[in-house]
Chain A
């Protein structure tokens, strides 16, 4: 059994809108092993970012985080006081955001901003601090780090800024890095570089990583395991190769079918019709039911729990229960066709 760095059980994060309470994240459980990268995938508004902010303890009131368990290494993050939580943030769990253009403070030099993240957690002499920052800049692949130390964020391009963000996140050698769509705002060539850099840093340091994205291409490149989220719940989870090659949940299939394929040139991209339902309108049944091509009566009655497909893959779909194991494999082809057909 590998060591779990992070363990989340039954996470529910609720917000209040128009005096109605709703759970943006509704009973999410997962864990991250040491040195592992997990990908959290899903459409916009399905609770990916809220999950990460809940773990960091950064949900603002009146939002509320409830869970049976959020443990990070030996710490129960639910019970830590503000000060202790603050010491974990940036030190042992770091975070990278989607928008490198707005994630850096415009009035400080980038070097100072990296130095600040060290200074908050460690007492370092300023001469040593500067060298450490320059090392960090070099580490994330920034040329002429001594010069760039003195630059303001607006003097750097998006990719360079994301590298600076990574340097800030890596400054205190965290054990877990949460990356919230780190490459979404970057162009494709730079995306690959940033992913490669993150992967490399992770391997050289034995760090765990939680990568939030809606790009399955990114997932296949970087992640070991995948968690697919839909409408505040995990709909499917498992090893990357299982999920990408043998998706069980119609939603995962839809996502994969929506990827543009090489050679497929009929001028239209596949998509899953419909939209993620608002948390205020979640029915009692499966939340994907109204977009699912394979919807059954049972789906409208009861939310499917995560069912074992294999020892390494779980899926929250009644289809998995009905057909079970191998006999489902035949059925799967049909669903695939049905989903794709409808989206076309």
Chain B
């Protein structure tokens, strides 16, 4: 090209960060800044490994009944956490239950994110009557007790894990819509959005390629927190008999059934409950930590 580049003045060249550190190292230094991300991440990682390698980790077949070994105490006859009233190994059932809980948590959160994020983007970007309509729908959904609405939905759709996922997805999107909308409303006044418009971007491009990537941080935070909430909700629905159906096992279902034997075999309720608690704790710590990290990054700016 014929342009004259003499005008470059070396004093102006102040590029920060001459060498970017490796991505892996950056990732770990990022994580080590926050203990809660570290602890939460490890817990979540363990649960994911449990779910993925359930057949390897479990000591017994979770569906095999041994009527002679009913309601065994933990550590009895090689059953790590004892057995339930059909003689099924509780540890193996909890390991397999991680699959259900994670599936419900992640898929239902993805579903509600899909609904909430799109509606939030549209409402925040266009404003006006579209915003009013969407936000009134949000208000209406929020005015129901959330779990009651989920129960009603599952009752209408019929029990089963897919329907639980759909019901939870349809119930929990409101939060995401609100958070995204609020972010979009401030982002759309930013100068770089105006700049995107001046280079001829259309609305679709501006919304999904310019605004959305800028509100990913809060979406990730509320999303991870939402997984914990969804896992508890699944446990609740299963506890009420609306969740997964036997012989499949989820933590909530195992917990609910254990209630019948709580005097004689409290471990049947305690361990699935602990599993739920630890998993939700893991996701919450992770979400909190991620929020703190993104916050402190903003402060540093």
Contact = CB atoms under 8 A, between A and B. Distances in A.
A69 to B, nearest CB: 22
B202 interface: yes
B23 to A, nearest CB: 13
B193 to A, nearest CB: 8
B26 interface: no
A104 B195 contact: yes
A79 interface: no
Interface stretch (A40-48, A153-161, A319-327): A153-161
Interface in B7-64: 7-9, 11-17
A299 interface: no
Contacts, number: 108
A148 interface: yes
A107 B213 contact: yes
Contacts of A157: 12, 14-16
B199 A102 contact: no
A97 B198 CA distance: 10
Contacts of A104: 192, 195
Interface string B187-215: 00011101111111110010001100110
A31 interface: no
B213 A108 contact: yes
Interface string B263-289: 000000000000000000000000000
B250 to A, nearest CB: 38
A336 to B, nearest CB: 37
A82 to B, nearest CB: 8
A143 interface: yes
Contacts of B201: 86, 90, 116, 120
Most chain A CB inside 10 Å of its own CB: which residue of B194, B199, B209, B216: B199
Contact of A159 (B3, B12, B16, B301): B12
A196 B199 contact: no
Nearest to B211: A105
Nearest to A92: B200
B186 interface: no
Nearest to B4: A200
Interface string A134-163: 010011011100001001001111011000
A103 B191 contact: yes
A105 B200 contact: no
A89 interface: yes
B5 A138 contact: yes
A81 to B, nearest CB: 12
A280 B231 CA distance: 58
Contact of A120 (B4, B12, B191, B199): B199
B196 A105 contact: yes
B211 to A, nearest CB: 9
Interface string B155-177: 00000000000000000000000
Contact of A102 (B1, B13, B191, B200): B191
Interface residues of A, number: 49
Contacts of B9: 189, 193
Contacts of B190: 102
B296 to A, nearest CB: 16
Interface in A143-199: 143, 148, 151, 154-157, 159-160, 165, 168-169, 171, 189-190, 193, 196-197
B298 to A, nearest CB: 11
Nearest to B216: A107
A230 B195 CA distance: 26
A88 B197 CA distance: 11
Given A99-B191, A107-B213, A148 B5 contact: no
Interface in B64-96: none
Interface in B105-158: none
A201 B7 CA distance: 12
A165 to B, nearest CB: 7
B191 A141 contact: no
A82 B152 CA distance: 45
B11 A89 contact: no
A320 to B, nearest CB: 37
Contacts of B16: 154-157
A135 B196 CA distance: 21
B11 to A, nearest CB: 7
A335 B204 CA distance: 55
24 contacts: A58-B197, A86-B202, A89-B197, A89-B199, A90-B198, A94-B199, A95-B198, A102-B191, A105-B196, A105-B210, A105-B213, A116-B201, A120-B199, A120-B205, A135-B1, A139-B1, A139-B3, A143-B8, A143-B13, A155-B17, A171-B199, A193-B9, A193-B12, A204-B3
Given A58-B198, A120-B200, 13 more contacts: A58-B194, A58-B197, A90-B199, A91-B200, A95-B198, A103-B195, A107-B214, A116-B209, A141-B8, A155-B15, A157-B15, A157-B16, A200-B3
Which 5 pairs across A and B sit closest by C-beta, in order of nearness? A90-B199, A90-B200, A117-B199, A95-B198, A89-B200
